[in-house]
């Protein structure tokens, strides 16, 4: 019914003004028409500033918990929506940092439920391929030290704890996605994303790497909440975007872990940030915060075998690029040494 008529396919990115979503739009725009839908609840216009000047990019400000009729937007006529429809949907809409578990719990739950449903209904209407950004959070906390999660692990979670709006929201969304796949014929994929970092992460929203960088740049002590010896993995955002696109393009599987295999202790990561910034600052540890949780490590065998995907950017290289971004935006981000 909706065949690609234009040279470029039409792709919708929900949450495209966020951290990962904006990098995904940067990549997709090279070969597709991109419709970015976002309500800026945690994303920002600066993330898509350059894209707004590109004729193949259209932005719609919309809260996706409400239904979306794309054919009402005259600015999308250029993409021949009525005839070509949409070929692919990426759903990255969801408030995502630890602080939002406390500040935006209902929005987080409803975005996972209602926004995912509205987007799946668009996928039904346009027979579009659907990729949902899930999270390693659906596995919950590891039950043993250095636990590695494969896709067939069911998880260990507190359904009513301080992180439950995110963890349970993501689990509900996964179930909704696979059921639309089974019962409504949508071609679906679930990306279980592990910690990802890079330029355009927000400061002050409780994520560890921006916190470390902001402290180092402003000559303040780096604080580790919880154990400094806990091992963690961080995937650079360009690798994550590459994984998401490869996952959307394939038709041989549904659920895939995407994350880095490089492991460091939190203390080692703090030290790398200090070395790269040249800061003369100390590292301290403090009691863990209620909304933080120990993290398991990803088993990405399936992504390697089926998608031919694995992360390429070493942590030090990615951290350097991220630090350079924060330094370049120091003024705008309010990073001064006082």
Residues lying near ligand NAD in the complex (CB under 6 A): 15, 17-21, 38-43, 63-65, 92-96, 111, 115, 133, 135, 193, 195-196
Spot the catalytic one: 166, 197, 234, 236.
Answer: 166
Beta carbon nearer to ligand NAD, 7 or 69: 69
CB of 3 to ligand NAD, least distance (A): 28
CB of 121 to ligand NAD, least distance (A): 15
CB of 109 to ligand NAD, least distance (A): 11
User: For residues 146 and 298, is the Cβ–Cβ distance under 8 A?
Assistant: no
E-state strands within the chain: 9-14, 32-38, 57-61, 88-91, 129-135, 148-149, 188-193, 196-197, 222-225, 231-232, 235-236, 255-258, 264-265, 283-286, 297-298
CA dist 236 and 246 (Å) reads 16
The DSSP 8-state label assigned to residue 162 in this structure reads T
CA dist 37 and 287 (Å) reads 38
Beta carbon nearer to ligand NAD, 133 or 315: 133
Beta carbon nearer to ligand NAD, 21 or 206: 21
Based on the residue annotation, tell me whether 166 is a catalytic residue of this protein.
yes
What does the chain come to in residues? 338
CB of 318 to ligand NAD, least distance (A): 13
Beta carbon nearer to ligand NAD, 85 or 98: 98
CA dist 230 and 268 (Å) reads 10
- Residue 91's nearest CA partner among 33, 15, 189, 178 is 15
Q: Which residues carry out catalysis?
A: 166
């Amino acid at each position: 019914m909706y065949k690609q008529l234009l040279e470029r396919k039409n792709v919708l990115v929900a949450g495209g003004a966020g951290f990962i979503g904006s990098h995904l739009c940067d990549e997709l725009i090279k070969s597709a028409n991109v419709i970015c839908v976002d309500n800026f609840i945690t994303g920002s216009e600066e993330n898509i500033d350059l894209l707004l000047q590109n004729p193949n990019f259209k932005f719609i400000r919309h809260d996706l918990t409400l239904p979306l009729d794309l054919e009402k937007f005259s600015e999308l006529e250029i993409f021949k929506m009525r005839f070509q429809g949409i070929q692919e949907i990426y759903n990255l809409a969801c408030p995502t940092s630890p602080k939002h578990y406390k500040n935006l719990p209902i929005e987080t739950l409803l975005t996972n439920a209602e926004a995912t449903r509205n987007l799946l209904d668009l996928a039904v209407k346009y027979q579009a391929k659907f990729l949902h950004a899930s999270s390693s959070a659906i596995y919950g906390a590891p039950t043993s030290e250095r636990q590695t999660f494969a896709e067939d692990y069911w998880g260990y979670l507190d359904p009513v704890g301080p992180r439950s709006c995110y963890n349970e929201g993501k689990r509900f969304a996964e179930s909704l996605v696979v059921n639309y796949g089974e019962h409504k014929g949508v071609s679906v994929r679930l990306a279980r994303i592990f910690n990802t970092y890079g330029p355009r992460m927000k400061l002050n929203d409780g994520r560890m790497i921006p916190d470390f960088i902001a402290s180092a740049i402003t000559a303040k002590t780096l604080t580790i909440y919880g154990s400094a010896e806990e091992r963690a993995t961080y995937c650079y955002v360009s690798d994550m975007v590459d994984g998401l696109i490869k996952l959307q393009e394939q038709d041989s599987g549904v659920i895939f872990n995407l994350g880095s295999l490089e492991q460091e202790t939190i203390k080692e990561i703090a030290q790398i940030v200090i070395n790269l910034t040249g800061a003369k600052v100390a590292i301290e540890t403090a009691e863990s915060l209620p909304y933080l949780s120990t993290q398991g490590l990803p088993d990405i065998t399936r992504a390697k075998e089926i998608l031919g995907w694995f992360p390429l950017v070493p942590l030090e290289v990615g951290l350097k690029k991220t630090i350079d971004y924060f330094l370049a935006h120091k003024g705008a981000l309010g990073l001064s040494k006082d």
